[in-house]
Structure 1
């Protein structure tokens, strides 16, 4: 069942959240879920700016048993892009808010849908942004932020020893290969490298977050390809950083090297 339950008001914009399956929960669980989604949207909007769309479909899939608060979620593209959340119905509100999944899926709404070959780009961006959102809103500390990136990059590197081939080809067959760690974290490394290159530019520093915020408001198109998306980021940053990195990443067979000293430079 579809119901319109809340209107999230921010200084930037109001977003109407349209829930599916909310009524399948008890009143107390409904309130918990609404608080969780509201908190996630406020945190995401604080960091990335408001979504350009004014309606957000949220399909709820509560589970009676789960090993983590949100075991699975996905983006649903359509007239209004939305999200589907599989979550433990008995998870506490605080554990849901501390879980990374909602921030990851909301981050996907700030870019178009890319072809399978370039899922490393979309998943890397969402993984990078989820951690920045959580840091920016005090959900994780700066040390936790660096630890999460370091641990994820290590997992990606380890998986790359077993799952070989050009990154775009691996991404195209990611689910069959079970190559999520290599795909997600290669893409995250891409945006870490882009962030560091932006910092090194002369003139005012424009971050990846600021560019995504600008892209959402001025330039987002549902039919933008991965290359068009990156070309737009280059135009907004007055650079060739993203296109240059793309050319080196798309067919690379090794895992990117990101050092701890480079992670230490990621201060926002």
Structure 2
């Protein structure tokens, strides 16, 4: 287990001691065991103003510089100390800074946890008042002497992440390969938290249907109580700052069957299986999640094969009708938010992954598929906390699968104007649109592939 491996690993050179109080203030000590002529500390732009009583505990200079501080003649084992009001950060109600969720605080650690220039993982201990909970994307280590212990992975400074503190219920869902650490925020009861855990067990079965194990060892899941519009589940987001996290807005009063019927959670869970691909890779990332949100629910037995194909077909239909046919997929992805071009970007991306999946299975006689290639990527490369350029990602998938299909089709899709013509692919798979519905031709050349894509895993 990763928890045992980390607990036996050498202590990190950077250590945080965190002491949270019921007045919503966090006392922080950050100690660095490596000497340096000049030790630099940094935060998000403007965040230095959030720190009170900042000082080197042994005295010495500490100069404000850009987005952080410089400490001259740093001695091994020295510590900085300061206090930050997490409540004040939450009161800003600002994205990537903080917010109040009922009686709970959700704040960005990048706004108050100074980082060093070391670029390596750090260790942290946390003391909480009785009855309080703390949710973070950091890797949990065994508690010691009443303190929570964590390993904080080194991720790029501009990757967003959030921690939550309050009196909320916490639940762990352990599955092959790892654990989901669930925080039920916004006033959920213990019974509602149990319902959320039951739902997440169902969701994660989709990931297991693709890879046999959770793609990462640990995932923070923040479920925020909210009265959603038109369904049991609202907005969802995947973030990677200081570890992998999912945030999903959910109505905890709705029955678990309605939660399971929604696609949002499995869509966000699908993002765990690929690295961060940057803005230019959004169509590749969102396309995979849009493809998987239907395929994996069918494999997990939550949809029939027919239901999954109809949902995919409906998504492709929305993509075809979307504006921006005069732009390449590359260009409209770069302008996606300004143009509201989500349907074109997401579903053209899904069409790419379907085409790749079919070609892989056809060429390998069923031995290879998107799931196999991504499983190989997870084993070699996923845990590295780094961004991948889309072209490098698809090239690596080709290397691992012994093909050229990922990169070749990526170049074609990225440069294509308008929505891809799916008629030849549908004909080969035996998917026939007829009187506003779909029927399936089992005599089509790739009918077996059509069935295999949606087939639940065999025992």
Query: TM-score, normalised on structure 2?
Result: 0.55
- Equivalent residue for 1:225? 389
1:267 maps onto 2:399 in alignment: no
Of the candidates 210, 213, 217, which is equivalent to residue 47 of structure 1? 210
Q: Structure 2 regions of 5+ residues with no counterpart?
A: 1-132, 136-169, 431-446, 453-459
Q: Structure 1 regions of 5+ residues with no counterpart?
A: none
- Equivalent residue for 2:341? 179
Question: How do 1:206-217 and structure 2 match up within 5 A?
Answer: 206-217=368-379
Looking at structure 2, the residues matched to 164 and 59 of structure 1 have their Cα atoms a distance apart, in angstroms, of 39
- Equivalent residue for 2:282? 119
Looking at structure 1, the residues matched to 313 and 429 of structure 2 have their Cα atoms a distance apart, in angstroms, of 8
- Equivalent residue for 1:166? 328
Distance 1:203 1:66, change over 3 A: closer
- Equivalent residue for 1:258? 422
Distance 1:163 1:104, change over 3 A: same
Looking at structure 2, the residues matched to 118 and 53 of structure 1 have their Cα atoms a distance apart, in angstroms, of 21
- 1:113-157 CA deviation, whole Å, 9 max, x = no partner? 112122111000111112111010111111111111111111101
Distance 1:132 1:24, change over 3 A: same
Looking at structure 1, the residues matched to 194 and 296 of structure 2 have their Cα atoms a distance apart, in angstroms, of 23
Looking at structure 1, the residues matched to 288 and 228 of structure 2 have their Cα atoms a distance apart, in angstroms, of 30
- Equivalent residue for 2:14? none
- Equivalent residue for 2:244? 81
Distance 1:38 1:202, change over 3 A: closer
Looking at structure 2, the residues matched to 38 and 204 of structure 1 have their Cα atoms a distance apart, in angstroms, of 29
Question: How do 1:13-162 and structure 2 match up within 5 A?
Answer: 13-15=177-179, 17-22=180-185, 24-160=187-323, 162=324
The alpha-carbon deviation at position 263 of structure 1 amounts to: 4.6
Looking at structure 2, the residues matched to 135 and 125 of structure 1 have their Cα atoms a distance apart, in angstroms, of 15
The alpha-carbon deviation at position 65 of structure 1 amounts to: 4.1
The alpha-carbon deviation at position 46 of structure 1 amounts to: 3.0
Equivalences, count? 264
Counterpart contact for 1:53–1:80, Cα < 8 Å: no
- 1:13-58 CA deviation, whole Å, 9 max, x = no partner? 231x333344720222111111111221133223223234322111
Counterpart contact for 2:184–2:223, Cα < 8 Å: yes
Counterpart contact for 2:275–2:387, Cα < 8 Å: yes
Of the candidates 108, 130, 134, which is equivalent to residue 2 of structure 1? 134
SS in 2 for 1:201: helix
SS in 1 for 2:224: strand
- 1:214-238 CA deviation, whole Å, 9 max, x = no partner? 2112222432221111111101221
More helix by proportion, 1 or 2?
A: 1
SS in 2 for 1:239: coil
Counterpart contact for 2:205–2:300, Cα < 8 Å: no
RMSD: 1.9
SS in 1 for 2:309: helix
SS in 1 for 2:415: coil
